[in-house]
Structure 1
Amino acid sequence: MNRVLPYGTWPSPVTADLAAAHDGRPDHVAFVGDEVWWTAPRPAEDGRRALVRRRPDGTEEAVLPAPWNVRSRVHEYGGTPWAGTLHEGQLLVVFVHFADQRLYRYDGGEPRPLTSAGPRWADPVLLPERGEVWCVKEEFTGPAPTDVRRVLAAVALDGSGAVRELTDDTRRFVTGPRLSPDGRRMAWLAWDHPRMPWDGTDLLVADVDGGPPRVVAGGPRESVAQVEWAPDGGLLYVSDRDGWWNLYRDGRRLHPREEEFGGPLWTLGQRWFAPLDDGRIAVVHGRGAAALGLLDPATGEITELGGGRTEFAATLAVRGERVVGVGASPSRGYEVVEADAASGRVRAIGAAHRDAVAPQYVPRPVVRTFAGPDGREIHAQVYPPRNPEHTAPEGELPPFVVWAHGGPTSRAPLVLDLEVAYFTSRGIGVVEVDYGGSTGYGRAYRERLRGRWGVADVEDCAAVALALADEGTADRARLAIRGGSAGGWTAAVSLTATDVYACAAIRYPVLDPAAFADGGTHDLESRYLDGLIGPRERFAQRSPADHADRVRVPFLLLQGLDDVICPPAQSARFLARVDVPYTYLTFEGEGHGFRRADTNVRALEAELALYIQVFAPRTTKEQAP
């Protein structure tokens, strides 16, 4: 028999400790011989990324003990931090250690440095027959975040410290090289300020033995998100030249579909597709949620390989007919998944999901499309409160929190998230909004935010929140908004520009666009606002820091003190003009996005405390109309 308690007060077994322990997902999967290796989050070990292998007997083990942290800082967001192979029967692994950003060689014993301190490295390609590893090299040339150069470089594997540059530094941003099967050509992507990689990139090909690179695809209004060589030497790439990230071979589109086979290149080395030896291509694809499939270029048909998983990350590896990725669903956390391309059999082989709580406490999302201003579509995922032991008094409507994802060029994945369950199991609904500007729905949807950041995203989140209230799903008087990074901007602007929300939880946010653009962030995003907001005179109009005195409701602000993307100085300026109650928590050792278990526990508990205070139980007569 269910116990009747007001929404927001339900006891729940989904604790903050439990949610924090399951934060993060496996990433950067690859084969080392016949073994599958990947990086895995370790929230309880100061948030490091461990390198993990699956041995032939099926057991998993961390390759390197703490404090080894396999993570790159190129572009600050990083990229693929390791590569491995068996060369002449011997293990050979190269990885980036987060603390000093040096490249290290690992042969099974103590790792040995290959580079000196200073430069950063990402997206390595091992070429043991050449005695080298090729990767992106990033080095700072002055004190400003934008004093930086990037090239493709070859690092000697013998420990001599020898580095030779493969390209010049005429391009601001480059991805790691992809070497053709015959070893004669390499391909890579490049772009320049003020473009971001989803605005426009160039696909370049050059002869390894010399000669100028040739641009074979891309441009200012065409985003090429990934390039690979097919086993027979064909050039495969994902381009959105026709409005959707579709797959091409030597300039010919393989499957004209209005869905995405690529995504925003926030980190280097993301793989949405991987070619098999027989010509078929493993693909991560979809409209909204991204599934795993096997594309036959001869017919254009796709065979789904998800095994019930509805969302796959942009990391794939193939060996023979084995396809490995990282997949999840609303009822299963992210797992390392292997699919047999011959039989279609799918199984979890690493980080296997185990129910942390009874499934009845896990929220069930409802995927919906709402009508926004001017009738435009807004995609969202609604998670109503759910707890098998409790129900609310008759007539009470639940509080709801709008979650605005980061990026803003990103989207909310359709996966089991115990942070969502932390709130829904207590009687607080969550709705994740893929506001205009989100990826997964084509270039036109993505570009709704051009020049309108702080307007369209705010309007879309408010439209969804108010629609839920109007239809009787949510309590109009108990709406909140929560976001981190760019989502923190949306939450903060929502408080200065609307009266929709009763409170907000703002995490490591963008708050001061002028400071953000004037050396107050890293190089990758230093010109991002040119497209998101437009002319400088608009910055002050939209800036939460310039309009903080308009905030009329309480809020929680969470800030990492080591954040170089959204530095604490922006939060300080915002808070200096606030005249309402607020809670400000800072975290030493945390950067942009929280990785440590103790940080996430404290953040979740503080957020819940805010909602408990603001969402005090209301009687039926007090419900808003």
Structure 2
Amino acid sequence: DGPVVVFTHFADQRLYLLSPGTGAEPAPLTPTSATGGGLRWCDPVVRPAHRDVVCVLEEFTGDAPTDVRRVLASVPLDGSAADDRSAVRELAGPTHRFLTGARFSPDGCRVAWLAWDHPAMPWDGTLVRVADVMSDGVFAGARTLLGGADESVSQVEWTGDGDALLVATDRTGWWNLHRVDPATGEAEGLCPREEEFGGALWKIGLRWFAPLPGGLVAVLHGRGAQTLGVLDTATGELADAPGHWTEWSPALAVAGTRVAGVAAGPHSAYEIVELDAGSGHSRVVAEEHRPAVDPAYLPQPQARTFRGTGGRDVHAHVYPPHHPDHRGPDGELPPYVIWVHGGPTGRAPMVLDLEIAYFTSRGIGVAEVNYGGSTGYGREYRNRLRGQWGVVDVEDCASVARALAEEGTADPARLAIRGGSAGGWTSAASLTSPAGDVYACGTVTYPILDLEGWAADETHDFESQYLRSLVGDPQADADRYRDRSPVRHADRVDRPFLLLQGLDDVICPPVQCERFLGRIGPGVPHAYLAFEGEGHGFRRADTIVRAVEAEVSLYVQAFGITRHDVPVLDLKEDA
């Protein structure tokens, strides 16, 4: 009868209900399952009229990571399903492999969601599904309204009056905002621009726009970086929010005319910011940035566009070395490390990163490369990586490294590459490719190294067929899978490298690192640090400190730098 909070508890993956102010402990709403990964829930929407919460249910049907089904389900708020799976109602059949949470019309009589199927990823092609909501809360007449194999819709919402849907679709080549008739599917562009009003749907619940009263919509938009603005859907006018923030996360929330979001800048960490769309005033409401180090030590980043192979544009952020009390020796160019973001369908934002500052304040420059295939620059740029993973990304990173050397920014003899996850793949592929001869050393973190193994059963369901678009068909293009896998060419590595891995990583499992190391030739200085209790992305402070100090030590040794403030990394040369 009062306010409630429904959340998923990570430890047991159950849904819980909390009644704030009552002093009661959170009560479980959903059962557990011993099959595979059990039952998992996300994107909950509470329906007070039906006394339930509607979620995406992910239910494992076996032990393999791909033995899974997903449906929209209703969980009663009275706790009757806490020990009874049969009390969970499935609102629509499992017609698609993947789906997002339900978005209900203001009157609760209609519902919309997104769906897609293997082998597509959500930035390749998605469907907008709509249905009627019956008096008992179940869905009826589910149908596809919009989308397809070559159209990515990254978000769907209802307008405030419930007469139409708002979607971010890339049908024009850019994720632009459209108004859609829920009866016919006819779509009208609201602010046609060569900018992105959406992004890659890596997680369920991401929100790039949110309807406001009076036909206004809070939107994130931009080319590369996205900023917050308010769009008047009647006139197409777009007014940006004031403030120093240059990057906004797709996590918008609205209450009346107030918009809340998470934003950062080159010299400020992510803060929770509120915009009053009525007055145009912005303010930090939580997690206010407080400098962890003296800002004088922070680098001044530069947004750059370089010319890559064939004259194509390659976007990057360059962070020159900087220290308030020291400068490099006269006549000596600084070393630079090429940083490769993960994904690979993602983007490196230009925001405060103390890890970057750690390197730049020690005389090592950083260049973050948003290589072809990255988001933020339209579908054509994103599609450059289709069938070309391990080629375009490697070439683009090398192009930036060579350009920095040729223009006199970086020492051509002291260039390195580093990356994690998909960035670890690009780093390893560079070290085993002639295109990577520009680098003196490299750091490879929780990487993909063996395409054949990863395409079989060595990753989770979401990305289990990702390689079909990035590389090709595992059977028809088997030679391509073998030829591009760094594990197949580990014997080509002839320069120092550091390999970092979490032993609990289920996305890029440590077995791939072990295969790679088993094929390294003798005489190559290298180190392998594997961390217990760490998964895909390091979380513990001691792990992060050890990994960063090891990386700096690698560069100190490879670049001939004299430093005594980091532990010496033991680089062995035996096979």
Q: With structure 1 as the length reference, what TM-score do the two structures score?
A: 0.84
Q: Distance in 2 between matches of 1:587 and 1:114?
A: 35
Q: Distance in 1 between matches of 2:353 and 2:203?
A: 22
Partner-residue secondary structure (3-state), 2:512: helix
Q: Establish whether residue 232 from structure 1 lines up as the match of residue 144 from structure 2.
A: no
Q: Distance in 1 between matches of 2:242 and 2:537?
A: 29
Letter in 2 for 1:533: V
Letter in 2 for 1:421: A
Q: Is the 8 A contact 1:193 1:527 kept in 2?
A: yes
1:285 shift after superposition: 0.8
Q: Distance in 2 between matches of 1:309 and 1:94?
A: 31
Q: Is the 8 A contact 2:242 2:280 kept in 1?
A: no
1:170 shift after superposition: 2.0
What's 1:382 paired with? 318
Q: Establish whether residue 516 from structure 1 lines up as the match of residue 454 from structure 2.
A: yes
1:529 to 435, 450, 467: 467
Q: Is the 8 A contact 2:338 2:417 kept in 1?
A: yes
Q: Establish whether residue 163 from structure 1 lines up as the match of residue 105 from structure 2.
A: no
Range 502-511 or range 210-219, more displaced: 210-219
What's 1:550 paired with? 492
1:306 shift after superposition: 4.5
1:475 to 411, 424, 431: 411
What's 2:35 paired with? none
**Matches of residues 332-481 of structure 1 in structure 2 within 5 Å?**
332-481=268-417
Letter in 2 for 1:320: G
What's 2:109 paired with? 184
Q: Establish whether residue 134 from structure 1 lines up as the match of residue 46 from structure 2.
A: no
Q: Is the 8 A contact 1:306 1:327 kept in 2?
A: no
Partner-residue secondary structure (3-state), 2:4: strand
Partner-residue secondary structure (3-state), 1:570: helix
What's 1:38 paired with? none
Q: Distance in 2 between matches of 1:362 and 1:232?
A: 47
Change (3 A) 1:574 1:306: farther
Q: Distance in 2 between matches of 1:590 and 1:279?
A: 46
| Cα offsets for 1:550-597 (capped at 9, x unmatched) | 011111111111111101111111111112221111122211111222
Letter in 2 for 1:516: W
What's 1:12 paired with? none
Partner-residue secondary structure (3-state), 1:577: coil
What is the RMSD of the two structures over their aligned residues, measured on CA atoms? Answer: 1.0
**Matches of residues 62-461 of structure 1 in structure 2 within 5 Å?**
88=1, 90-108=2-20, 109-117=24-32, 118-161=38-81, 162-209=87-134, 210-233=139-162, 234-250=164-180, 251-461=187-397
What's 1:484 paired with? 420
Partner-residue secondary structure (3-state), 1:494: helix
What's 2:516 paired with? 574
**Runs ≥4 in structure 1, deviation > 6 angstroms?**
none
* Count of paired positions: 530
Letter in 2 for 1:222: E
Q: Distance in 2 between matches of 1:559 and 1:480?
A: 19
Q: Is the 8 A contact 1:175 1:269 kept in 2?
A: yes
Partner-residue secondary structure (3-state), 2:432: helix
Letter in 2 for 1:583: A
Q: Is the 8 A contact 1:420 1:430 kept in 2?
A: yes
Q: Distance in 1 between matches of 2:3 and 2:41?
A: 21
Q: Establish whether residue 590 from structure 1 lines up as the match of residue 534 from structure 2.
A: yes
1:602 to 546, 565, 572: 546
Q: Is the 8 A contact 1:138 1:149 kept in 2?
A: yes
Structure of higher RCO (CA pairs closer than 8 Å, 6+ residues apart): 1
| Cα offsets for 1:72-119 (capped at 9, x unmatched) | xxxxxxxxxxxxxxxx5x230011111111111111331111111220
Q: Distance in 2 between matches of 1:589 and 1:111?
A: 27
Letter in 2 for 1:114: L
Q: Is the 8 A contact 1:151 1:165 kept in 2?
A: yes
Partner-residue secondary structure (3-state), 1:390: coil
Q: Distance in 2 between matches of 1:155 and 1:438?
A: 38
Q: Is the 8 A contact 2:242 2:281 kept in 1?
A: no
Letter in 2 for 1:194: P
Please, which runs of 5 or more residues in structure 1 have no aligned partner? 1-87, 619-625
Q: Distance in 1 between matches of 2:541 and 2:289?
A: 19
